[in-house]
Structure 1
């Protein structure tokens, strides 16, 4: 039985990860400051004797005894991370320093939940791990993009300087039950608008592309990454390489929900990437992993979840 620390554990990805770790018989310490996390995501876990919930902000040190650390703490949608951009940067940078310091003290393996946003508005398509990215360092998205880039720097410096056992995963768009209906992301926006009969808001001309990975597939990749041994650090892309335009996603959402909502177009936000699609060759090779849930199947499960919470 391992003792796992999951920061951001009451968030979308974190709550699914906590559940999987408990299912395999481990102990879980779920840490969250509840800025974007929601207790309702982990209410069913609170009675489990191997689960512990701690309200804590990772920008402050944490002193616990654990075997593995999954550092997921950080608001991940533009709506949330731009609300307090200074705090977003502190969460990525100070949070990384504090969790790395903890991992060093207790000799734990630590995984950093990085992001496809470190590639910025890419000039390489699809994006491979050796691509350094094209990021605006002073734009409205920089608090998240550069914060995550700096966190990766810290992880690899701790690895080189202190021999720390690190794992760095770059997460591409992930969706599924447990998403926050008001997080402002394209998937949740479209589903909520369709179920409420509101206009589907498309930013730009809708030809920009995204790839969408179902949450169960993503969490499986996390667990596989932690099992790779000390010789493999990443970074490694995790996502679904199947690519869709934003308009194609909207049409799929309308079909699954049966909504008669209309598509309306608005100005594209600053620094919004035109293309986002992972090259997962490394994940296939080193983890033996690829996504198994296609978008149609995942959409049906996600829409079912949103119907329930919205009572639509």
Structure 2
């Protein structure tokens, strides 16, 4: 996919090659970020416990001498001299973060604490991948950064929602108490190649079901809305925030403000895959937000950032990725059966 950004003003502000730690670097977003940072000439250390991350996401990077992988859980302390830290370490899909909710909360809180202590020790700039889930089931639409949210602290999604909110608090306190150089992004729904087929997110679910000819499962009546940002756009936003001058140390929304109902997404994917799948409805999960759309005024103003990949273009690349993944899996199954 073509690079749609004129990054000259960002590159001019970027420091020389750095030694960068990417926690959660083997995951969907983390692997794309590692790729970007390595190709920019940095030394990148991917740290991942591989609970949801996959080594195959990093296969193209292993040939670089400037890239290395450490299997480690940030719930345990880590000592590495680094210039920058990106914290993307936490399962982000409901089936995965709900599988071990206590560990999810520990990753968000204790893991962030360990990385902040590391940043403090080495005077490293540190980036936190927060989430639109801090807004909960919002009463304000679209959601600006100033909105405090409507979050349930006692439910199946709370381990993730409240964990990310607590992590933001830690980042705030480390900056104000210790002068740590922080950056915080609130990520709205993002999709693209390297998503897991079993991650339970709406885009991957629908594509995999459509390609297999299975019924497409829509929870509720499908009128709930989401905004879908392609991964390349999001990573560009990460880098613009990380190197922006003057520094922005308050949370910044990143996402695509184009808003679609879940049913519209299902219909679009059926059309694009030529699938015979039918839409079936299931009960809405507990605390599932009815609306989700970012107000990206701050990103536009301060980062000169807006997403540029249309949904149809991004879905084309994502569908092609899953077609390859499924055909490879089917081939391995046939080979094993012979």
TM-score (norm 2): 0.91
Match of 1:308 in 2: 324
Secondary structure of the residue aligned to 2:99 is coil
Match of 1:285 in 2: 301
CA contact (8 A) 1:166 1:230 kept: no
The Cα offsets for residues 56-115 of structure 1, whole Å up to 9 and x where unpaired, read as: 000011100111100000000000000000000000000110000000000000000000
Match of 2:48 in 1: 32
Secondary structure of the residue aligned to 1:153 is helix
Match of 1:236 in 2: 252
CA contact (8 A) 1:158 1:164 kept: yes
Q: Structure 2 residue aligned with 1:197, among 196, 210, 213? A: 213
Please tell me whether Structure 1 or Structure 2 has the larger radius of gyration of its CA atoms: 2
Q: How does 1:178-257 map to 2 (within 5 A)?
A: 178-229=194-245, 231-257=247-273
Q: How does 1:34-73 map to 2 (within 5 A)?
A: 34-73=50-89
Match of 2:160 in 1: 144
Q: Give the Cα–Cα distance (whole angstroms) in 2 for the partners of residues 102 and 288 of structure 1.
A: 31
Q: Give the Cα–Cα distance (whole angstroms) in 2 for the partners of residues 110 and 277 of structure 1.
A: 26
Q: Give the Cα–Cα distance (whole angstroms) in 2 for the partners of residues 124 and 197 of structure 1.
A: 37
Q: Give the Cα–Cα distance (whole angstroms) in 1 for the partners of residues 246 and 297 of structure 2.
A: 20
Q: Give the Cα–Cα distance (whole angstroms) in 2 for the partners of residues 225 and 59 of structure 1.
A: 26
Runs of 4+ aligned residues of structure 1 deviating over 4 Å after TM superposition are none
Consecutive unaligned residues of structure 1, counting only runs of 5 or more, are none
Q: Cα gap change, 1:93/1:115 in structure 2, threshold over 3 Å: closer, same or farther?
A: same
Consecutive unaligned residues of structure 2, counting only runs of 5 or more, are 1-16, 331-338
Q: Give the Cα–Cα distance (whole angstroms) in 1 for the partners of residues 302 and 246 of structure 2.
A: 13
How far does residue 225 in structure 1 lie from its aligned partner after superposition? 0.6
Q: Structure 2 residue aligned with 1:275, among 271, 279, 291? A: 291
Secondary structure of the residue aligned to 2:200 is coil
Q: Give the Cα–Cα distance (whole angstroms) in 1 for the partners of residues 101 and 56 of structure 2.
A: 26
The Cα offsets for residues 164-221 of structure 1, whole Å up to 9 and x where unpaired, read as: 1000100000000010000001000000000000000000000000000000000000
**Paired positions, count:** 312
Q: Give the Cα–Cα distance (whole angstroms) in 2 for the partners of residues 44 and 294 of structure 1.
A: 26
TM-score (norm 1): 0.99
Cα RMSD between the aligned structures?
0.8
CA contact (8 A) 1:152 1:168 kept: yes
The Cα offsets for residues 144-179 of structure 1, whole Å up to 9 and x where unpaired, read as: 000000000000000000011000100000000010
